[in-house]
Chain A
Amino acid sequence: MSSSDNMSSLPSPPEPDKSPCPFYPNHLFVEGVCALAVFAAIVIVALVWQVPLEEIADPGDATYVPRPDWYFLFYFQLLKYFQGPLIVVGTFVLPVLVMAVLILLPFFDKGKATGIRKRPLAAAAGLAGVVSIVALTAVSVLEDESHTTKMVLPPVTEAQIAAGEKIFASFCQICHSIDGKGGFMAMAPDLTEIASRVSRARIEQIIIDPQVVSPTTIMSVIPLSEEERHNVSAYLSRKK
């Protein structure tokens, strides 16, 4: 099949179409409906999932656990397996190889069949690619779950919150304002919406070692017992 006769035959459908569907307005309308559905979905997700803006970048922070956006997670996970001198395989050789295979794909896969049932090899390769990416992403998420559960926090109860509020009032409110109260001389950040910025585990970390926020912070270590600390973090985790 030479490309020239292919070209001339392509724009018209194989069998003469009895009622050809023009791009405008018929098809554009359908596309528009699809687009509207997608748009609605994006708006809903954007509204429900408040965009997480974390604390300002701190190059000196030694406790932050960086994770890429979800679509790079599989690659992030993959990098764990290439060690020592093999790192370059993960960071350079493999990506270049994958890209080269993708780019050159149509030039070595020259079979005429396009239906997926007639291309078992391509189907298997494509499926393997998809499965391995999904699997790597899943492993990455699971490994992180098992790591972060190290800090066991008791479930939040109303009693804890009430106790936490008292402790907060006597230890923290001198510097930190909350709901418009306390925070003399604006020495420390307002915590009215703390829970929308940081997780409860992170709050606990900050109480244990205030320097995790910033090495230059003037916040001192507050002598709280473990239970008192859980109470405060429970109280603050409701401040959204």
Chain B
Amino acid sequence: MGRIYQFLDERLNLTPLLRDITDHPVPDHANVLKTRSAFIYCFGGIAFFIILLQALSGVFLMLYYSPTPEDAHASVTYIQNETAFGALLQGLHRVGASAAVIMVLLHMLRVFFTGSYKNPRELNWVVGVFLLLIVLAFGFTGYLLPWDQKAYWATTVGLNMVANVPLIGDFLASALRGGNEMGTLTLLRFFVIHVMFLPALLAIFLAAHFFMLRRQGISRPL
């Protein structure tokens, strides 16, 4: 281990990079070991952890999932009943989705009530609001994938809400739906949005979120 690290370090000069990540001090007010109430500073980190969990369970669920109206429901049933740990994994993904929303909201409330969004962290707050929207979009698109009754009707209502946007609403809803009727194309594009578009977007915004956090440090209450 040490040798390999040395080999890499000599050639890539990793130490300053790692030092920067590992050694940056965590202020007392955000440190549970020193301040009891500091647990409220944990929500963001936990939200990130859950997002990683979602990515991992999601990638594995895709091994057995088929995004067509004919097969989706059967493939989810198959995951639940005939794969080892399938029910657990699907449960994890489903419960994790709720947990992610809860943690993101708690994190947001913490930032709001400690006034952490103020100068100089305005931009990070804005990025955070977009992250909330992305997480909700994950929820909305993921909801359709089992293609059960709840999925179908919740998405029907959701898309009809989009259609209410003035002027371009109908067009927007049709574009998302892939036509005027929910069907094969709707499920496929919701799937692709859920597993490709949104993760890409999420990665970009998360990177920005963390970059700004490291540059500006954790806010402290005044």
Do A and B share a direct contact in the complex (Cβ within 8 angstroms)? yes
- A residues engaging B (CB < 8 A)? 1, 3, 6-7, 10-14, 17, 20-27, 30-31, 34-35, 38-39, 41-43, 45-47, 49-59, 61, 64, 66-72, 79, 87-88, 91-92, 99, 102-103, 105-107, 109-116, 118-119, 122-123, 126, 130
A66-B157 in contact (CB<8A): yes
Does chain A have a CB within 8 A of B176? no
User: 14 A-B Cβ contacts within 8 A?
Assistant: A7-B216, A11-B217, A24-B23, A31-B45, A43-B92, A49-B95, A57-B147, A70-B98, A71-B101, A91-B161, A107-B122, A114-B118, A116-B115, A122-B115
Size of the B side of the interface (Cβ < 8 Å), in residues, is 82
| Closest Cβ–Cβ distance, residue B36 to chain A (whole Å) | 13
Does chain A have a CB within 8 A of B174? no
A residues within 8 A CB of B150?
A: 52, 54, 66-67
| Closest Cβ–Cβ distance, residue A6 to chain B (whole Å) | 5
Does chain A have a CB within 8 A of B7? no
The total of Cβ contacts below 8 Å across the A-B interface reads 213
Q: Give the distance in Å from the alpha carbon of A167 to the alpha carbon of B146 in the complex.
A: 34
Q: Give the distance in Å from the alpha carbon of A7 to the alpha carbon of B212 in the complex.
A: 11
Q: Give the distance in Å from the alpha carbon of A59 to the alpha carbon of B186 in the complex.
A: 13
Chain B residues 161 to 186 lying within 8 A of chain A, measured CB to CB, are 161, 164-166, 169, 182
B residues within 8 A CB of A123?
A: 113
Chain B residues 24 to 47 lying within 8 A of chain A, measured CB to CB, are 24-28, 31-34, 39, 42, 45-46
Q: Which of B22, B95, B118 contacts A45 (CB 8 A)?
A: B95
Task: Bits for B96-128, please: 1 = Cβ < 8 Å to A, else 0.
Answer: 111101110000010011111111111001100
| Closest Cβ–Cβ distance, residue A36 to chain B (whole Å) | 9
Does chain A have a CB within 8 A of B94? yes
* Given known contacts A57-B152, A91-B161, A122-B115, A6 and B99 CB-to-CB distance under 8 angstroms: no
* Given known contacts A13-B25, A20-B25, A47-B91, A114 and B126 CB-to-CB distance under 8 angstroms: no
A23-B24 in contact (CB<8A): yes
Does chain A have a CB within 8 A of B156? yes
| Closest Cβ–Cβ distance, residue A205 to chain B (whole Å) | 13
Task: Bits for B1-29, please: 1 = Cβ < 8 Å to A, else 0.
Answer: 00000000000000000000111111110
Q: Mostly helix, strand, loop or mixed at chain B's interface?
A: helix
A34-B45 in contact (CB<8A): yes
* Given known contacts A61-B149, A113-B115, A119-B115, A17 and B122 CB-to-CB distance under 8 angstroms: no
Residue of B nearest to A31 (CB): B45
A residues within 8 A CB of B80?
A: 51, 53
B residues within 8 A CB of A13?
A: 25, 27-28, 220
A residues within 8 A CB of B122?
A: 106-107
Residue of B nearest to A33 (CB): B32
Does chain A have a CB within 8 A of B154? yes
B117-A105 in contact (CB<8A): yes
B26-A23 in contact (CB<8A): yes
B residues within 8 A CB of A53?
A: 73, 76-77, 80, 146, 148
Q: Give the distance in Å from the alpha carbon of A31 to the alpha carbon of B158 in the complex.
A: 36
| Closest Cβ–Cβ distance, residue A101 to chain B (whole Å) | 10
